[in-house]
Every structure is written in C-alpha cells, then in structure tokens.
Amino acid sequence: MDYLLFFAELVGTVAFAVSGATLAVQKRLDLFGIVFFGVVAALGGGTMRDLLLGHTPPRMFYNYEYVLLAVATALMVFVAAKHETILHIFNKADSFLFNLSDAVGLGIFAVTGTQTGILAGHEKNAFFCIFLGMTTAVGGGILRDMLCGDIPMVLRKHIYAVAAIAGSSIFYVLDLLGFDSGLSSVTAMAVTILMRLLARHYRWNLPRVDETVRKNNPGGL
Amino acid sequence: MDYLLFFAELVGTVAFAVSGATLAVQKRLDLFGIVFFGVVAALGGGTMRDLLLGHTPPRMFYNYEYVLLAVATALMVFVAAKHETILHIFNKADSFLFNLSDAVGLGIFAVTGTQTGILAGHEKNAFFCIFLGMTTAVGGGILRDMLCGDIPMVLRKHIYAVAAIAGSSIFYVLDLLGFDSGLSSVTAMAVTILMRLLARHYRWNLPRVDETVRKNNPGGL
Amino acid sequence: MDYLLFFAELVGTVAFAVSGATLAVQKRLDLFGIVFFGVVAALGGGTMRDLLLGHTPPRMFYNYEYVLLAVATALMVFVAAKHETILHIFNKADSFLFNLSDAVGLGIFAVTGTQTGILAGHEKNAFFCIFLGMTTAVGGGILRDMLCGDIPMVLRKHIYAVAAIAGSSIFYVLDLLGFDSGLSSVTAMAVTILMRLLARHYRWNLPRVDETVRKNNPGGL
C-alpha cells in the first residue's frame, strides 16, 4: 500500500510539473522560467500548506527528490517541445494518460495535505485539515496561473477544486473513524480521481451566472 | 461598545465578501470560484497579518464564524446575481449602503489588525503595528485582484489604503496614550469611514503622474 | 569591507525601489501606489526569505532604514516623473548607471539571502541556502510584476535569476570552504554583476521554444 501511495506522489509530481512547464512554454518563457513554473506547479501547494502550518523550512527544502523530479520533468517538456516529433507522440498519447496522471496528483495531494494537518495535531479542526488538503492539491496550480496574470484554471475547470475537497473530506472522516491510513488514502484518492475524470468527460460544471446578468456590479468596486 | 465593534466586524466581513463574490461573478467564475473569492476578499487580509506575525494556523481556521458568514454572503450574491430582480433591488439600495459597509470594514479591520500587533507584544514597533492594520484592511482586496490579474483597486481608488493607514495610526497613538480600547477603536473607525466616504463623494485622489510623461521608464525594466 | 557591503545594500535598495516606483508610474498608480510598489520591489524578496525561514516579524519591520530609503526613493521617482526635465537628465544618465545599480542589488541580495540561511543554521542544506539567495534577489521583482498581472520580467530577461543563483552558489561554496565572509561576498557579487551586465550587453538569453511549436499544449490545461 505504501508503495502505491509513494508511486502516486511521483505520478502527481510529474503531472503537475508538466502542467507548469507547458504553460511556461506557451507563455514564451526561457529555460529557467520553464523549470521555475514546473517546480511552482508541483511543489507550490505543499509549500503553502507548510507556511499555513508554521512548518519552516517547508518540506520541499529537505525532501529534495520531488524538486529534482519536477526539474527533470520540466527539462523533458522543454526538450519535447523543441522537437515537434516527440511532442506529437506525447500529444497523442496524452489525451487520457495526462488527465489520469493529473487526477492522480489531485487525489494524492489532497490526501497527503489532510494527513499532514492531522499529524501536526489539528485532528479536531476538520475545516483546517480539509483546507490544507485542498491547498496542497490546488495551491500550486493557483500560484502557477497567478504568475502569468491568468485567472486560476482550478477555479474554473470542471469540478477541480471541489474534487480535491471531496477527497480531503473522505480521508478526514475515514481517518477519524479509525480506518487504516492506507485504506482511507486509496478510497479518498479513488473518489477524487473518479469525480475529476467523470466531470471532464461529461463536461460537468458548477453553476455559473449568465452572460446577460454578470455586468451588474453592486458597489461598483 | 464591544457589541458595536463585533457588529462592525460582521458588517465588514459581509461587505468584503460581497466585493469578492461580485468580482468572481463578473469574471465568469463558477459557484466554487464565487465562494472562494468571497472568502479571500473577507479573510485574506487577516490571514496575511497572521503569517507576518508568525501566528499559525491563522485565525480564520479557528474562528469559523467569519468564514461561514463570508460563504453565506457569497452564496447570496450568487442567488441574487442569478435573479435579476433581486439584483436590481440590491443595486438600487446599494449606492450608499454598500459603500458605507465597505468603509466600516476598512475601519474595523484597520483597528483589529493594529490591535493584534499590539497584543502580540509589538507595541513599541509603530511601523509594524500600523502595517498590520493596513494589511488586515486591504490585504484581502489585493489578493482578490491579484487572483484576477488585475492591478489592485485598493492601490488606485480614492484614498483607500491611506484611509486604512490613518485609522491604524490613530488607534495606535490613542492606545499608546492610554485611552480606553473601545473609545480608541470607535474614534479610529470613524476617521477611516469619514475619510473614505468623503474621498469617494468628492472624488479625492492622491496625485498621479500625467499621461504625457508616464512613458519614460528609467532603466527600461 | 563591511562598509563596501553596506554601501552595496543601499545601492541595491535604491535601484530596486526605482524599478518598482517606475513601473507604478507607468501603470498610472497614484502616489501611494508608487511608494507601495517601490517598497515591495526593494523589500519583498527579503520578506519572502524571512517567511520561508519562519523568522517573524520579517526583517523589514525592525530594520527601518531600508524601508525609509525605499520610500524616499519612490518619492524622488514621483517628483522626477512629474518634472520631465529632471526625468530626461535621469534617463540619459541611467542607461549604464541604472543597470549597474540594479546588478549590484542582484548581487548583494543574493549574498545576504544565502548568508541569512547559513547563519540560521541551515549551512548543510545547500539547496535551501541558495534558494534563499535567489528569493531575496528576485522575489521583490516577482511580487512587483504579479501585482500588475504581468509575467515576471526576472523570469524572462537576459540571465537574471540565473545570475542570482550563480552568485548565491559561489558565496555558499566559498563560505563552506572557510573563506573570509567579506572576500566571499565580494567575489560572489562581482560574478553576479559581471554575468548580468555581459548578458544585457550581448543580449544573451537562455534557450526558448520557437514560436511555431509553442501552441502544442499537452493535456490541454
């Protein structure tokens, strides 16, 4: 079970680093910018979690392996983008594989974030623990988009942050009920992944306000 | 007196949550985005204050009532925006009511931010305490606008951050002189609210550099 | 030697405050916004460093002199921008002088950031210390640009963050080898300044992905 969770963390780190590095390529950043965006997308959420918990230095500074993995991934995206052929193969392969990996990352980071809160002694504070799970899962994506001046995708896409909140909540409740940590993790991850993939496939979206109304701005702020 | 201050905090939380949720509606975010922006606008400033003070977890994670109030407010903005009729009533009512509530929020958050710094033992550090007051008052609005890629309104509007600094400074000085906390709070709030409403009404602005000159950019950065 | 380093910090603070205040003038912010951007650009990097280290309140809140210097600089930029004549003289003088000052700031902040990490007991964590040097040097510029919704210049310009990383690494290694702190600082600064000025003059850039390819976005994120 532990191997499975560790493997999921690696998959998630790679998927998030790909999303950051790819955005940097699109925004015409240079090689350093590509690596920087890859690292921010993959590790920014966990770093925000650690700052909210008062854990300094944040985990990314003493668990190097994830940073190295994100850097290596970003370099591979750069090489792939330089060589269209590789990119084409990658593009064809990805439609399902990439989305699955990204959903795996969302699920595992929601679980590890919630667990970090519980282990830090906040097990009675459901709101904080679940918030930490959500932050770990979507914080990197929010930072990545803020660095570009874009409105964060994770606040607009088909049930993205909400899937992370669902996973965090399930893990929190199962853990509270005394279930085995491995079982709770896998259940929470499975629900997150399923919600996210179904939402993407069926284009489920949360409700929104219609175009015609949205210009009304109380307060004129 | 304490009831008055508590009531002011509720009013400010609602007003700031309305500003965040309304912006999210305008930016076409979904229901989650609307709630997220409401919470960020209402509680982001206090969270920044707590991180600067090293108070973790930040207050929003154990004083739930403000988060719940911000969430409820954002949901109401969503419902109101969905039903134009309600929105129209709201819009007509607001021109004065909303601006007053927003100014109340600016005043009360400037006071509570400064007070948090003083109570944390930084009473001799005027700059830090006043900075904390300003951050609590305008930090949420800055984060809200950064999430959209907009230049923060609070740095451009008629005497906004400056009114918060005035309120923080007055509270700090009165508290230092030994005045009663309630009296100092109400005085500081009153000045902030008055400055802000007058600035809005008479369109007072701080000086700016003319259009013709502003293209000159030393350093070409 | 210590005087030299102190002088370099002053020069760097002024140069960074000029970059922030100038951007604010260009973005049509008012006087408060100009001062705010000057302070963020000059002191934001050091504040991010302190938060990552868990040092609260951050140094800018008890070493006032740098804040005062940044505020005074921003006010001077405002006055200069108001009076085209002064600005013209400034513009002519600057092409070399401003770039040199900015490079001095990059070098000295990379050194002081790395040193802060070492003195805080993280001398065995090379990655963290060098990251702190980079953050101190480029964090303020990143925050400044994020406040405008612009993609951070420091991630795009000719070898900017990379020069800071080079300076941090050299200081870290020389300090580890037991060299005198003053000597290590000056060597690291000299390399950073030289790299940055040469990169600017010869328009060296890190590799980028060509226009034709960059639209391919694996994952469609």
DSSP letter at B123? T
The H or E element containing residue A175 is: helix A161-176
- A94/C216 touch (CB, cutoff 8 Å), yes or no: no
**Residue C169 has what pLDDT?**
97
Is 80 exceeded by the pLDDT of residue A70? yes
Q: Considering only CA atoms, which of A45, A26, A48, A44 is closest in space to residue A36?
A: A44
Which of A18, A58, A81 minimises the CB distance to C219?
A18
Nearest to B46 by CA among B121, B115, B109, B103: B109
Q: Is residue A22 over pLDDT 80?
A: yes
Question: What is the per-residue pLDDT for C154?
Answer: 85
Q: Do C151 and A147 touch (CB under 8 A)?
A: yes
> ipTM, 2 decimals?
0.88
pLDDT in tens, B138-160: 999 999 999 998 999 888 877 89
User: How many Å apart are CA B131 and CA B37, to the nearest integer?
Assistant: 23
What dihedral angle (degrees, nearest 10) is formed by the CA atoms of A87, A93, A95, A96? Answer: -150
Question: Average pLDDT in the B3-22 region?
Answer: 91
Please determine, for residue A191, whether its predicted confidence score (pLDDT) is greater than 90.
Answer: yes
Chains touching chain A at 3 or more Cβ pairs under 8 angstroms?
B, C
pLDDT at residue C202, as a whole number: 83
Q: Which residue in B186, B184, B162 sits closest to B172, CA to CA?
A: B184
Contact A94, C218 (CB under 8 A): yes
Chains adjacent to C (≥3 CB pairs closer than 8 angstroms): A, B
CA distance B88 to B40: 25
Which chains have 3+ CB pairs within 8 A of B?
A, C
Cα–Cα–Cα angle for B182, B187, B190, rounded to 5 degrees: 120
Give the one of C15, C26, C29 whose C-beta lies nearest to B156's C-beta: C29
Mean pLDDT of chain A: 88
Is some CB atom of chain C closer than 8 A to the CB atom of A10? no
On whether any CB of chain B is under 8 Å from the CB of A146, the answer is yes
The alpha carbon of residue C84 is apart from the nearest alpha carbon of chain A, in Å, by: 31
| pLDDT tier, A218 (very low <50, low <70, confident <90, very high otherwise) | very low
* 3-state SS assignment for residue A121: helix
pLDDT-wise least confident of A85-94, A124-133, A170-179, C173-182 = A85-94
- The mean pLDDT value of chain B amounts to 88
Between A95 and A32, the more confident residue is A32
Contact between B52 and C57 under an 8 Å Cβ cutoff? The reply is yes
From C57, C91, C98, residue closest to B53, measured CB to CB? C57
State the first-to-last Cα distance of chain C, in angstroms, to the nearest integer: 51
Please give chain C's pLDDT, 221 residues, in tens.
778 888 899 999 999 999 999 899 888 898 999 999 999 999 999 999 999 999 999 999 988 899 999 999 999 999 988 876 555 655 555 567 788 889 999 999 999 999 999 999 999 999 999 999 999 999 999 999 999 989 998 888 778 999 999 999 999 999 999 999 999 999 999 999 999 999 888 888 778 786 544 444 444 33
Residues with Cβ < 8 Å from A163, sequence gap 6 or more? Answer: A103, A106, A107, A192, A195, A196, A199
Residue of B nearest to C160 (CA): B221
Q: What is the pLDDT of residues A73-115, one digit of tens each?
A: 999 999 988 876 555 655 555 567 788 888 999 999 999 999 9
Query: Which of B28, B54, B102 shows the shortest C-beta gap to A208?
Result: B28
Return d(Cα C47, Cα C43) in angstroms, integer: 6
- B196-to-A186, B5, B19, B42, C7 alpha-carbon distances in Å: 53, 19, 16, 18, 41
CA of A157: which chain C residue's CA is closest?
C221
Distance CA(A128)–CA(A35), nearest Å, equals: 31
Top residue of B155, B195, B196, B212 to mutate, by most chain C CBs within 10 Å, is B155
Report residue B14 as tokens. Answer: 């609602």
Chain A CA closest to residue B26: A214
* The pLDDT of residue A212: 47
**Chain C residues with CB inside 8 Å of A142's CB?**
none
pTM for the full model? Answer: 0.91
Close Cβ partners of A103 (under 8 Å, ≥ 6 residues apart): A163, A192, A193, A196, A197
| Helix, strand, coil share of chain C (percent; to 5) | 80, 0, 20
> At what angle are helices C126-146 and A126-148 packed, to 10 degrees?
70
Average pLDDT rounded to a whole number, residues A31-55: 96
What is the per-residue pLDDT for B84?
Answer: 67
How many residues can be counted in chain B? 221
Q: Which of A123-127, B3-7, B85-89, C83-87 has the lowest mean pLDDT?
A: B85-89
Whole-number pLDDT of residue C218:
46
Which of A54, A162, A208 lies nearest to residue B54, judging by beta carbons? A54
pLDDT above 80: residue B87? no
Has residue B204 got a pLDDT over 90? no
Using CA atoms, how far apart are residues C152 and C136, in angstroms rounded to an integer? 15
Kindly state the average pLDDT of the residues A145-150. 92
Pairwise CB contact (< 8 Å): C30 & B156: yes
For residue A19, give the H/E element and its range: helix A2-26
State yes or no: pLDDT of A161 exceeds 50.
yes
Averaging pLDDT over each range in A19-23, A119-123, B63-67, B148-152, which range is the top one? A119-123
Contact of B22 with chain A, judged by CB distance below 8 Å, is answered with yes
Asked if A136 and A116 touch (Cβ cutoff 8 Å), the reply is yes
